[in-house]
Structure 1
Amino acid sequence: MDTSVIIILLSLLFSAFFSGMEIAFISANRIHIEIEKKQEGILAKMLTWLTEKPSKFIATMLIGNNIALVIYGMFMGELLMDWFQNLVPTGIAFLDALLTDFSLVSQTVISTLIILFTAEFLPKVLFQVYSNTLLKILAIPAYFFYVLFSIISWFVIKVSDFILRVFFKTEGDEVQLSFTKLELGDYITEHMETVEEEDEVDSEIQIFQNALQFSTVKAREVMVPRTEITAVELNDTPKNLTKLFIETGYSKILVYKDSIDEIIGYVHSYELFKKPKTIKSILMPVEFVPETMMIQDILNVLTKKRKSMAVVLDEYGGTAGIMTVEDIIEELFGEIEDEHDTIDFHEERVDENLYKFSARLEVDYINENYKLELPEGEEYETLGGLIVNKTGHIPEQDTEVTIDNFTFQILEVSNTKIDLVSVRVHTED
């Protein structure tokens, strides 16, 4: 093979390497880099040295890329010029001049297209997709060029910093190697995706993921719905209230006037030891919050006012549900079960593509634990909510509803809600 062809191929390879490492360094997850730097071995040391001065690393990659492109342009221009001359040999001055002009335009177009695909577009896409892996694998050659071009990159950075300070009145451009909340979320998501279906997710990882999502959770996603509220009428007797406490095992019971939409407070079980004559005499005020309010804001409100329960209101001012501090804390640490909690949600995998679920199960919970891809939306949280949202009504028992690649059969239903659903997954043949 001709020496010039080898040099052209090598220059394209180096250009692809420098372009790819630049985009890999920018796209790599900062948490992943920091974790790799904590490991033992030569790769960890290389990454530590490379990331010590990010701006210098990027400058080095740009310098290397430009050198490779200059060498490529010189030898590629010669090669194409010789090729055109051999292709159309002529001794006529007019044709020679025309051929020279045509060859210059052609070699520019051909050289540019080759560079765009082999040294810019393809490597940048590849290095961006596999940025974490390739940055670690190619750390040693990257460090070699980092040292080789260190004097040039130092000079370039000093000149650019001077221009920024003098003409643009800004400080030098020094990229900080810090990670964001989004990068932490991406890293945890990658970890979760590697967990097999039958494996347990580490509790610490789950808490991290819950904490990242905590600021985006609204009251309606956490509340106990209106249909499951246990409450007593204001004019009821303390004797009946005592009986209700014993039956439910709750420590607090809401009190309403006329209807559940007019909750006026709650009663704590220890107040019954005072032997009250009326429920009103032991009534305690309750906090009201809209269903669109973020639970972190609700937690702040309840903490400041020393309350443990809030009534969630819908857009019309009616009672949508209730929530306690325990419900909010469970969003971070998972379910906190006590002696009065009962697990009545049905979860069953009948066969490979058929499941039975309680309609109260949340869609994201099903997707996470059963690796399904049920459609999620802002308008609903539960499996029952998904079906009602898509159909516009509560389907009758034994009705089949098809949504995307899923067929839902209503197994149990009441006048106000869906209770039990079978889900069949349709797979492509």
Structure 2
Amino acid sequence: MIVILLLLVVGLLLSAFYSGSETGFYRATRVRLVLDSRSGDWISRGLLWLTNNPALFVATTLIGNNLANYLTSLGTVLLAQRIEPAGSHFVDLIAPVLFTPIVFVYGELLPKNLFFHAPNRLLRLAGPPFLLCTVAFLPISGLLWVFGRVLQRLLGSTPLRVRLTLARRELRQVIVEGKEAGLLHGVQQRLIENLFETASDPIAPFVVRLENVTHAPLNASRRSVLELAKTNNVDAVCLFDPHSRELVGYVRLADLYLDESPLSDSIQLLPRIAPTEPVIAALIRLETSNADMGQVVDRQGKTMGIVFTRQLTVPLFDGV
């Protein structure tokens, strides 16, 4: 009798575990998974990996639920036989009817409701055993996963990949919730909205052609470069090789004033940027290089113009 009750309890717990984990998996905030993954949390990394491989997650859940249902059904049948050894059809019929509401409430409804309201907290607790089950069921779920990949290639569809970069829609929702909670001011929200609007725009509209950029030959004197900068009211001057006519860098007006060393010692390198590169990616590259401008080149390596860091930041502060 103890073995039979143990089968029923284990089957009920497994049903609750897989049903709740499935709801929590779809309800969990991917922002939290991404941030925890970047901090080195292996549980979040495993769950994020399953997010990138949804077919494997679904296969693991299906196998687990089938296992739970099998144990529950086996326990119900054995219990019915124990109550009525003669094999009464009445007991065989009434036992499933009596246990179905219990399985539905405690194996489906209650865990799903709990994971629905606290997905991140409960999924973190359920994460290690679920990842362990993923490995244990891999010989079976792996076949289903491979079959799904084959169908994907045949149909030409690509599954949604959730990488360590945040989904714009979900991050926007987080920002809205932050403002509603009083954590963000209107200026901050406007800045983030501008960031969303310009994040994927290419830098091509911001490129300034070389003939419109203040430039001087590499062998120019320090004084002539200073006068050129003053005349054109700029704070930096591009330098080019007088023989090849190729850009070699630029000098800042402030550096020429503060440092009396030769002009060649003050040259700053120009980061090379593709015209199709997004504004935010180009801005990050320029800021990382501590560059005031970048050299925009095409696929053949030909210089198309110059993009200035301050010009890329103008759309971000529009209306702020």
TM-score, normalization by structure 1: 0.40
Confirm whether residue 63 of structure 1 aligns to residue 51 of structure 2. Answer: no
1:111 aligns to 2:94 (yes or no): no
Could you tell me which amino acid in structure 1 is paired with residue 174 of structure 2?
Y
Residue of structure 1 aligned with 2:111, choices 123, 135, 143:
123
Q: CA deviation at 1:57?
A: 1.9
The one of 134, 148, 154 equivalent to 2:142 is 154
Matched-pair identity in %: 27
Pick one of 178, 182, 187 that aligns with 2:174.
187
Taking a change above 3 Å as real, the CA distance of residues 211 and 21 of structure 1, as seen in their structure-2 partners, is farther
- After TM superposition, give the deviation of residue 49 of structure 1 in Å: 4.1
Aligned to 1:206: 189
CA 38–71 in structure 1, closer or farther in 2 if over 3 Å, else same: same
Q: CA deviation at 1:48?
A: 4.3
CA distance in 1, matches of 2:137, 2:173: 33
For the Cα contact (< 8 Å) 2:178–2:184, is it kept in 1? no
CA distance 1:17–1:204, change in 2 (3 Å)? farther
Deviations 1:329-381 (A, max 9, x none): 44xx3xxxxxxxxxxxxxxxxxxxxxxxxxxxxxxxxxxxxxxxxxxxxxxxx
Task: Tell me the distance in 2 between the aligned counterparts of 1:39 and 1:175.
Answer: 23
Give the paired residue count. 202
Please give the residue correspondences for 1:22-421 in structure 2 after superposition, counting only pairs within 5 Å.
22-83=22-83, 85=84, 99-100=88-89, 102-160=90-148, 164=151, 170-171=155-156, 174-177=159-162, 180-192=167-179, 201=184, 206-207=189-190, 329-330=318-319, 333=320
| CA distance in 2: counterparts of 1:173 and 1:116, whole angstroms | 35
Contact 2:16/2:107 (8 A) holds in 1 = yes
Amino acid at match of 1:121: L
Letter in 2 for 1:55: A
Cα-to-partner distance string for 1:399-424 (whole Å, 9 max, x where unaligned): xxxxxxxxxxxxxxxxxxxxxxxxxx
Whole-angstrom distance in 2 between the partners of 1:19 and 1:109 = 21
Q: Which runs of 5+ in 1 are unaligned?
A: 215-327, 334-429
For residues 158 and 40 of structure 1, do their structure 2 counterparts lie closer, same or farther at Cα, with a shift above 3 Å needed?
closer
Would you tell me which structure has more strand in proportion to its own residues?
1
- Partner of 2:155, secondary structure, is coil
Asked if the contact 1:16–1:123 (Cα under 8 Å) also holds between the matched residues in 2, the reply is: yes
1:162-199 deviation digits (Å, cap 9, x = unpaired) = 5x469xx634674432665442233234445665xxxx
SS at match of 1:176: coil
Matches of 1:63 and 1:131 in 2, distance apart? Answer: 22
Secondary structure in structure 2 of the residue aligned to 1:138: helix
Q: AA paired with 2:144?
A: V
The aligned counterpart of 1:9 is 9
Name the structure with the higher helix share.
2
CA distance in 2, matches of 1:209, 1:126: 33
Verify the 8 A CA contact 2:43 2:127 in the aligned structure 1. yes
Query: Deviations along 1:83-134, whole A, 9 cap, x unmatched?
Result: 3x28xxxx8xxxx7xx41x223222222322221111121112112211222
Shift of the 64–208 alpha-carbon distance from structure 1 to 2, 3 Å rule, reads: farther
Q: Whose RCO is larger (CA < 8 A, sep 6+)? A: 2
Distance change in 2, residues 1:8/1:192 (3 Å):
farther
Whether the 8 Å contact between 1:32 and 1:187 is mirrored in structure 2 is no
In 2, Cα distance between equivalents of 1:81 and 1:73: 12
Measured in 2, the distance between the counterparts of 1:104 and 1:171 equals 49
CA distance in structure 2 between the partners assigned to 1:145 and 1:61 by the alignment: 9
Taking structure 1 as reference, are residues 171 and 130 closer, same or farther at Cα in structure 2, changes over 3 Å only? farther
CA contact (8 A) 1:43 1:139 kept: yes
In 2, are the aligned partners of 1:55 and 1:173 still within 8 Å (CA)?
Answer: no
Tell me by how many angstroms 1:208 deviates.
6.2
> How far off its partner does 1:56 sit?
0.8
After TM superposition, the score normalised by the length of structure 2 is: 0.52
Distance in 2 (alpha carbons) for counterparts of 1:62 and 1:204: 47
- Pair 1:176–1:61, CA change in 2 (3 A): same
Aligned partners of 1:208, 1:108: CA distance in 2, in Å? Answer: 59
Matching residue of 1:363: none
In 2, the alpha carbon distance for the partners of 1:6 and 1:43 equals 29
Contact 1:19 1:119 (8 Å CA) reproduced: yes
1:161–1:172 CA contact under 8 A, matched in 2: no
